[in-house]
Chain A
């Protein structure tokens, strides 16, 4: 019900639409994977076989495209999605759209060159590197879509883009660590890199959580209403008794207890288990299974993390609906 004053510990946050949660995680990992191959293959750091190329590129593309497609599901008018390419001058969403699509151009050249002509150097290699840079740019844009939104303190901060990068990279690397094993029986460098990146991503995520937990909100119900001269400002009645669009979109209710439990699960599944599994993949002959476990667990962890990214984000509009501070 609209605007009932939140009971202790309950707060209203951005609604974690599954399409968007999936979009950002999937496309993040896909583009990161693309970036990794785009750089590492031309530099000769990864198997050059067409089989590997096909598998890695397919996974990257499927994830990136599925992510984009899922974000289309979120649109009210998906058939007009093409119009989103027009406002790259100002809009991070537009930039993301443009860049994500453009990335496929060098990626395609790179893929064709590699898979059809077996060439990963020269122009093809350059295209790979270009695709990598653009894929990274896409991830940057995705992060900036959120980081640029001033009404949401949990997003509008310097930790969001690094987090998007780190988590994308982590996902991409985990995937790579799995795929590469079919062509490279006992990779060492990759799992080590994975471990470093997981550690870094985990660290960044913890810093992010700490940041949103301790930084003061710039806005409160007094600044939102211009009131407060007489003392504490509290909502008396909402404008409507049932939930309206704003409340459905930005008034997602989640209990603190629940939130903390989910963070724990995200830590376990997103970082700890993948770390242990990756570690295991380093030493055991069953590296493949361990890498797969790492990927699956991380996938779950990342989805939870991304879900929390929304469910912990409080929008200033809730100041008009009972929140005293966001």
Chain B
């Protein structure tokens, strides 16, 4: 019935025929995303041999089907021309970028030659540090087997304050080891969170929270991202949260809004603390002869705190058998925080939060906690066998991240937060904050670090893992003179509870030969010559500095594994090119940083989906191969042959850390029927693949809350191998190990800090939370450097590695320095001005962007966008180089005016204090506008890198 008109029309302007049902893919494979460390489950659609599309796996416990901006750009990660293609040996000087491409045989032989010499001579001369490593339980194990104490991953510059404060206080922590009870909370407070590792779960949950009408408050100097959608934004001045939180505590104590019942039952609030100033036991818990802590009974006598039942007092004085006095922890708390120094008026100016706001927030917390209590009709039994018909909870949830931890007062600030949570009884209760498996762990926490004198021997493995939790001075890794034994000085008096090591001190100490010279620096997946360095220019200098006496580099040998041509590759001598996350086996293990959630343990794998199109090998395979070639006992069998000939795949299946406990917890036992513990199952990886590459164990409902004191949970956790014993975990308002360090500083005990550190230890190792101004601000002239400067994680970028991604770099190819409009007006600055930003350490040039939602004393920028020209196979005029910048040039590893003797770090954990930075901002002369500074020489690059196309037409082939 086509008429002439229609035919005529169809000739000129034919109607499009849309194929609404095209075939999407040839094959769909599940795996785990690695565009960041968030570990979301993905489905990868493969078509015509390439990746057609990546989407979230709806069944996955982490991301429940969604992915983020980075995850969806995974195609461009795989397509990147910055991928390394062959092992490299440096030929020119370090930092120039001239290489010889070598075969793997030569690469492995070279590594074995260097490493075997060290191991036979002095294993600690190998420093093995890994960055964004998701196989830390394996790399740490390898280091232990090699026999060096000098191992750590990035935790020391990341969030060890958060981790350690949590582990010593509640046996779990913020970070990714717990989360607010998103489902039931009526109020959630977020302190210093921009993105976090748990970014998709947080996003999913925050919006669900908002939809159900609960309130979220963000305490953050900057109002973007999560803070943008918060119902209330508190633009705190950086580094003052501790004081703010203690003021909230002051208000709650004033109003008697504390949950004494919770405190009495689940915490050490009632434990008696010896009051004997000047003696070696002052401030320690009063204990009976069996070592049990004591509480104050109703009649004034003392009783074993671990004995259930009976009535206790929270305020009062006990006379101990030996005549000494002791008072309950709660009394010390009340005494301390009721002090007017914590009154809202007293802290308002420091924190930049009006006193009325603090009072209102305290009231709001109190109201929701105590008037809107919730009760779930779920019976449970506590550790003492008492049955409870319901699970009650105070619905105030909290979360915190690096805005709290990346300060020199971060450990104590984080402790203050946990104290607030405990006082209102919100740890692992409905509506409060919940542990993620395998947490809670015993508290104070378990294993101690190895590496003490006698534990490091030529040719032998170390007695235990190099990282752990010291319980007192006797656990430090120091020699008889009190000198550090680790290259990063972790677990020394400089940073006694450096539970994650101190990667940021590594290069400086190795360069200075302090405390000793090392031979080889072996790094994996950490861009230490750029964005993870404090004082980047100086770090590059140290990496290239030579000893004039010998003409040799001060750090003699550097081995590095990266998958891309990062800045650090140019500083290594031997480069072991890695695969991408689509090309290898990986494991996200419970022994490491698992994907578990609040309702039970989980873990996951990555499976190879594409075969590498270049001469690269999975780093884990390489490490296992090296282990076998070096004859590390756990990596060879009785005959000395490789124990895991199939590489990491074999290791994942057959390695057992303790009998029955291996990297993966799912489908254990020969028949795959056991979970948690069980013999290796040859078919285990296939079972994972069949299940979408993850394993998840759902705890029964009665085990969902009060895990620290929940009989059924504790027993189950032991059965699953999550914890060693089923004793209740008593939450520690008062942290006794801290007092032990402090007593040492006061001159007690065999192991005491050196004179120069005594005052520092005594002040900061307070067993109850304290607040002190961040170190840098207290050292520099705050008139000269009036502003705080911080970075934020950009949601669509992951540290340095997003810039080689053709899509992501379009979103964020250069960064600005953001400043409050009012502040700028005061400084005579206008939008888009180019400015010099100076700290005590140096200056950088950047372009300004004015905004409303930032604390008036704070400037900030997106992290790690600035790049070094020549790196990442980007053209040398790319905006990342010409307009991008790093704040890192302004931050130093040691404090100004300390003669490099004191770390720019938390004095307890050694956590790098990135966000303590103080700066001054001035307009740059017009002639300097348009380009950021500093700029460094353009790096050369390996000849084998793929040429970059001028036009990218990904996916166009089909048309």
Contact = CB atoms under 8 A, between A and B. Distances in A.
B851 A83 contact: no
A7 B831 CA distance: 7
25 contacts: A1-B879, A1-B883, A4-B832, A4-B849, A5-B831, A5-B832, A7-B832, A83-B12, A83-B13, A85-B12, A86-B9, A87-B13, A234-B852, A236-B224, A236-B851, A237-B849, A240-B810, A240-B813, A241-B810, A241-B812, A241-B813, A241-B814, A242-B813, A242-B879, A244-B810
A231 to B, nearest CB: 9
B852 A239 contact: no
Interface string B4-43: 0000010011000000000000000000000000000000
A235 B405 CA distance: 31
Interface in B826-852: 830-832, 849-852
Interface residues of A, number: 16
Interface string A228-248: 000000101101111010000
A172 B224 CA distance: 58
Contact of A241 (B13, B850, B852, B879): B879
A125 B872 CA distance: 71
Given A7-B830, A234-B852, A86 B13 contact: yes
B750 interface: no
A241 B830 contact: no
Given A4-B849, A241-B879, A242-B813, 11 more contacts: A5-B832, A83-B12, A83-B13, A85-B12, A86-B9, A237-B849, A240-B811, A241-B810, A241-B813, A242-B810, A244-B810
Interface in A148-204: none
Interface string B851-884: 1100000000000000000000000000100010
Nearest to A10: B832
Nearest to B853: A236
Contacts of A4: 831-832, 849
Please provide the 5 A-B residue pairs with the shortest distance between their CB atoms, ordered closest to farther: A86-B12, A241-B813, A86-B13, A5-B831, A241-B814
A312 to B, nearest CB: 22
A86 B5 CA distance: 12
Interface string A72-92: 000000000001011100000
Interface in A56-86: 83, 85-86
Contacts of B851: 236
Contacts, number: 39
A240 B814 CA distance: 9
A269 to B, nearest CB: 33
Contacts of A85: 12
Interface in A1-53: 1, 4-5, 7
B814 A1 contact: yes
Interface of A: 1, 4-5, 7, 83, 85-87, 234, 236-237, 239-242, 244
Nearest to A87: B13
- From DSSP, what is the main secondary structure of chain A's interface residues? loop
Nearest to A241: B813
Contacts of A234: 852
Residue from A5, A236, A240, A244 having most chain B Cβ neighbours under 10 A: A236
B878 to A, nearest CB: 10
B329 to A, nearest CB: 46
Contacts of B850: 5
Contacts of A1: 814, 879, 883
Contacts of B813: 240-242
A45 B591 CA distance: 99
B831 A241 contact: no
A240 B879 CA distance: 12
Contacts of A240: 810-811, 813
Given A85-B12, A86-B12, A86-B13, A241 B811 contact: yes
A235 B849 CA distance: 10
A185 to B, nearest CB: 50
Contacts of A86: 9, 12-13
A214 to B, nearest CB: 27
A263 B280 CA distance: 88
A245 to B, nearest CB: 12
B488 to A, nearest CB: 36
A86 B832 CA distance: 47
Contacts of A237: 849
Contacts of A87: 13
Nearest to B223: A236
Contacts of B883: 1
Contacts of A242: 810, 813, 879
A247 to B, nearest CB: 12
B849 to A, nearest CB: 8
A244 B832 CA distance: 19
Contacts of B812: 241
A234 B813 CA distance: 22
A261 B824 CA distance: 32
Given A1-B883, A5-B831, A239 B811 contact: yes
Nearest to A242: B813
Nearest to A239: B811
A83 B850 CA distance: 48
Nearest to B9: A86
A325 B638 CA distance: 78
A234 B821 CA distance: 12
Contacts of A5: 831-832, 849-850
Contacts of B830: 7
A86 B414 CA distance: 70
Interface string B208-242: 00000000000000001000000000000000000
Contacts of B12: 83, 85-86
Contacts of B224: 236
Interface in B795-815: 810-814
Contacts of B849: 4-5, 236-237
B880 to A, nearest CB: 9
B4 to A, nearest CB: 15
Contacts of B832: 4-5, 7
A241 B861 CA distance: 14
Nearest to B865: A241
B896 to A, nearest CB: 33
**Residue of A85, A87, A242 ringed by the most chain B CB atoms within 10 A:** A242
Contacts of B814: 1, 241
Nearest to B815: A241
A84 to B, nearest CB: 9
Contacts of A241: 810-814, 879
Contacts of A239: 811
Most-contacted residue by chain A among B831, B850, B851, B852 (CB, 10 A): B831
A237 B812 CA distance: 10
A94 to B, nearest CB: 10
B218 to A, nearest CB: 16
Contacts of B13: 83, 86-87
A242 B807 CA distance: 12
A96 to B, nearest CB: 16
B826 to A, nearest CB: 19
Contacts of B831: 4-5, 7
A242 B810 CA distance: 7
A39 B645 CA distance: 94
A27 B247 CA distance: 76
Nearest to B831: A5
Contacts of B9: 86
Contacts of A236: 224, 849, 851
The interface centre, meaning the residue of B12, B224, B851 with most chain A CB atoms within 10 A of its CB, is B12
A161 B830 CA distance: 41
B865 to A, nearest CB: 9
Interface string B458-496: 000000000000000000000000000000000000000
Nearest to B813: A241
A241 B814 CA distance: 6
A235 B687 CA distance: 50
B87 to A, nearest CB: 35
Nearest to A240: B810
A86 B851 CA distance: 49
